[in-house]
């Protein structure tokens, strides 16, 4: 179901706390898939009338990005998380992931992982490049922050999603 775009003024479905503003929030590591997979996915969703939050189009200049992203996540019906080898090296992506998993747990948001060139079991057990990314984070982040990121990573690895191999 496509929601009314914010600029139309037409109401979307309501919930007790917040009316959804977006159909989909798309979380991805920009340098990995922004101009390839993510761009094609967004185009396909747009063609179907599915209103998708993309940080390159919806972030207002001068606003705190983290607050605006958190708000966009909880104002979305669905979150699609494109997990790549480098996703876990981004503190920003991991914070998005925690917010997405919390939104799923707290309000039942639909979360769909896309394992893009990465094995779901490597995410679940935090092996290979994911283990290396967490080791690097441990030198700069609190134990609590690392724990939250690891728990969110494990939770999303158990969700049913898609496994996509990188072609080319």
**Active site residue: 31, 57, 63, 96, which one?**
96
What one-character-per-residue DSSP string does 140-164 give?
TS-HHHHHHHHHHHHHHHTS--EEE
Distance CA 141, CA 28 (A): 21
Q: Is 96 labeled as catalytic in the residue annotation?
A: yes
Catalytic residues: 96
């Amino acid at each position: 179901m496509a929601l009314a775009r914010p600029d139309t003024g037409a109401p979307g479905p309501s919930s007790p706390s917040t009316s959804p503003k977006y159909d989909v929030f798309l979380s991805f590591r920009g340098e990995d898939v922004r101009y390839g997979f993510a761009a094609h996915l967004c185009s396909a969703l747009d063609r179907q009338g599915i209103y998708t939050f993309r940080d390159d189009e919806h972030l207002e200049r001068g606003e705190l990005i983290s607050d605006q992203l958190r708000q966009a996540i909880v104002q979305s019906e669905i979150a699609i998380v494109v997990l790549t080898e480098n996703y876990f090296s981004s503190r920003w992506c991991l914070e998005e992931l925690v917010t997405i998993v919390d939104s799923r747990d707290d309000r039942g948001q639909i979360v769909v992982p896309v394992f893009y060139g990465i094995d779901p079991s490597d995410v679940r057990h935090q092996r290979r490049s994911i283990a290396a990314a967490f080791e690097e984070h441990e030198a700069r982040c609190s134990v609590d922050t690392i724990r939250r990121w690891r728990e969110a990573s494990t939770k999303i690895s158990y969700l049913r999603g898609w496994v996509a191999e990188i072609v080319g």
